[in-house]
Amino acid sequence: MEITSDRNEAWRKALRVAFPAKDRLAIERVTMPEVPPAERVKSQRVEVNKGVTPAMAQREARRCMDCVTPACMEGCPVGVDIPGFVKEIERGEFTRAAAVLKRASALPAVCGRVCPQEKQCEERCFLVQKLKKEAVAIGYLERFAADHERETGDAPLPESLPANGIRVAVVGSGPSGLSCAGDLAKAGFDVTVFEALHEIGGVLKYGIPEFRLPNRVVDAEIDQLRRLGVRFVTNYIVGMTGTLDDLRADGFRCFYISSGAGLPRFMNIPGENSNGILSANEYLTRVNLMGAGSVEADTPVYRGRHVVVVGGGNTAMDSARTARRLGAERVMIVYRRGEEEMPARVEEVKHAREEGCEFITLTNPMAYLADERRRVKQVIVQRMTLGEADESGRRTPVAVEGSEYALDTDMVIVAVGVSPNPIIPRSVPGLAVSRRGTIEVDPESMQTSVPDLYAGGDIVRGGATVILAMGDGRRAAQHICRRFSGT
């Protein structure tokens, strides 16, 4: 299906005429139906957001003014044609809406759920900028269109170019690798994705919990890639199980490295290796990937009654909410800046609060005390104030002398960021790597200093977002296509 979405098409004009701006502006922003907090904290797997109905979606789509120069699109890192898909929803062409989305985004059902819309497209919405109203719920609509397509089975298998016989290896099966693999398969390449873990999906599977992103949404994308002919090899660590040279010898002519930012950071403060203190990655992997917490799973996990989560990002919110679901009576989110500065999506902060998580902001851990069996029993924290803005524009927290106090706890989850996974940078001779350990690339082509190697996602950006990781994968795929065109 060739989808064009020109603002001047007759149907778009007709829609604009049919509803005057005044009527559009009178509509209130849709509220996402949610499972009530008391019920949802009983399950790790029940998705909190239930999704909007077709009627709700069409009504919400009507709030969009179909601006001449849609500022929302400038807020989207991959330039989704936002009015284009929203207006398809308004006129009831949901499958076409999904097709418009897929021109720019490989994973709309995922991005509709996890993108920080309030800092991207929705922040730029005309309704917010000019009228001080609530933005069009672009994220909800994106999710709606993508879910509708998946659930009705209307998704046509994208058309692929004839096979060109060129083998390309994708290293890592997170959002970046999956989108690169999809685009290359459609262009006729023979694509194999190598994944270190036993599951495909990267952070989408082992990190982000099912109450926010159900596995079936990710699996549907993976199935689609399989149908396009993409091969998946799990339990294969590139650089350990086999080297790039081994793969070159097997006939792979080009590589896309999307190995993510897997290495959890710790704060290196006294007592941090006590029992009951773990990284968010460890906690979430045990629960989400290994099923710890369910009776059947062999993998154990710490259970805390009074859980402290350190950090203010999505990972911290996911950990805190998971701890509630595993039975913690009290969950305290300790963050060194204020709530305004929290990098987490606003919706996650709201959901965490509704689920009874406490926010202890402008506070930073200094040390941990453990009992005689070395299990953590207290965290010593210090109050902070916000000082001057640093180069990133965020105000630097400054410790308040003499403000230390103790919080009683029996489990601590450290969610203070991740560093790039070092396995690939360490194993590829001649690969240019930054001081932070990220792989350096040409930002246009995503090509690294090794000519047959491209890279993108968190391994290039450090801990970033799904949409940026996805965008990198698509950009690299374009350049790989260009590189081999004419052969």
Partner 1 sequence: MNKILGKTYFSERVVKLEVEAPLIAKARRPGNFVIVRVGERGERVPLTIAGADTRRGSITLVVQVVGASSRKLCALEVGDHVTDLVGPLGKPTRVERVGTVLACGGGVGIAPLLPIAGAFKEAGNRVVSVIAARTREFIILEEEIRACSDEVIVMTDDGSYGNKGVITTGMEAVIVRERVELAVTIGPAIMMKFAAALTRRHAIPTIASLNALMVDGTGMCGACRVTVGGKTRFTCVDGPEFDAHEVDFDEMLARLDGLRDEERNKDITSV
| Site residues, ligand FAD (CB under 6 A) | 114-115, 171-177, 194-197, 202-203, 207-208, 237-239, 258-260, 262, 284, 314-315, 318, 345, 421, 423-424, 457-458, 464-467, 469
Nearest to 229 by CA among 161, 172, 171: 161
CB 217 within 8 A of CB 143: no
CA distance 341 to 41: 26
Q: Which partner in ligand FAD, partner 1, none is near 286 (CB below 5 to 8 A by kind)?
A: partner 1
Q: Which partner in partner 1, ligand FAD, none is near 375 (CB below 5 to 8 A by kind)?
A: partner 1
Give the nearest distance from C-beta 155 to ligand FAD in angstroms: 22
Give the nearest distance from C-beta 315 to ligand FAD in angstroms: 4
Nearest to 186 by CA among 486, 484, 481: 481
Q: Which partner in partner 1, ligand FAD, none is near 219 (CB below 5 to 8 A by kind)?
A: none
Which CB, 319 or 361, lies closer to partner 1? 319
Give the nearest distance from C-beta 288 to ligand FAD in angstroms: 9
CB 80 within 8 A of CB 105: yes
Which CB, 276 or 312, lies closer to partner 1? 276
CB 77 within 8 A of CB 468: yes
CB 271 within 8 A of CB 370: yes
Which CB, 77 or 202, lies closer to partner 1? 202
Which CB, 57 or 196, lies closer to partner 1? 196
Q: What dihedral angle (degrees, nearest 10) is formed by the CA atoms of 407, 408, 411, 417?
A: 0
Which CB, 322 or 378, lies closer to ligand FAD? 322
CB 416 within 8 A of CB 336: no
Give the nearest distance from C-beta 470 to ligand FAD in angstroms: 8
CA distance 399 to 361: 13
CB 42 within 8 A of CB 325: yes
Q: Which partner in ligand FAD, partner 1, none is near 177 (CB below 5 to 8 A by kind)?
A: ligand FAD
CB 335 within 8 A of CB 359: yes
Helix axes 138-152, 54-62, angle to 10 degrees: 140
Which CB, 362 or 428, lies closer to ligand FAD? 428
* Pairing, β 263-264 against β 277-279: unpaired
Which CB, 61 or 431, lies closer to partner 1? 431
Residue 40 in tokens? 């949802």
Give the nearest distance from C-beta 178 to partner 1 in angstroms: 18
Give the nearest distance from C-beta 208 to partner 1 in angstroms: 15
Give the nearest distance from C-beta 386 to ligand FAD in angstroms: 25
Residue type, 222: I
Q: Which partner in partner 1, ligand FAD, none is near 202 (CB below 5 to 8 A by kind)?
A: ligand FAD
Residue type, 253: R
Residue 456 in tokens? 């993108």
Nearest to 237 by CA among 202, 205, 197, 207: 197
CA distance 88 to 461: 34
Q: Which partner in partner 1, ligand FAD, none is near 298 (CB below 5 to 8 A by kind)?
A: partner 1
CB 382 within 8 A of CB 363: yes
CA distance 429 to 425: 8
Chain-centre distance for alpha carbon 84: 24
- Which residue ranges make up the site for partner 1 (CB under 8 A)? 42-45, 196-198, 206, 234-237, 240-242, 262-264, 266, 268, 272-273, 275-276, 278-279, 281-282, 285-287, 290-291, 293-303, 325-327, 373-375, 421-423
Nearest to 240 by CA among 205, 197, 201, 203: 197
Which CB, 61 or 200, lies closer to ligand FAD? 200
Q: Which partner in ligand FAD, partner 1, none is near 315 (CB below 5 to 8 A by kind)?
A: ligand FAD
Give the nearest distance from C-beta 295 to partner 1 in angstroms: 5
Give the nearest distance from C-beta 430 to partner 1 in angstroms: 21
Which CB, 249 or 346, lies closer to ligand FAD? 346
Q: Which partner in partner 1, ligand FAD, none is near 310 (CB below 5 to 8 A by kind)?
A: none
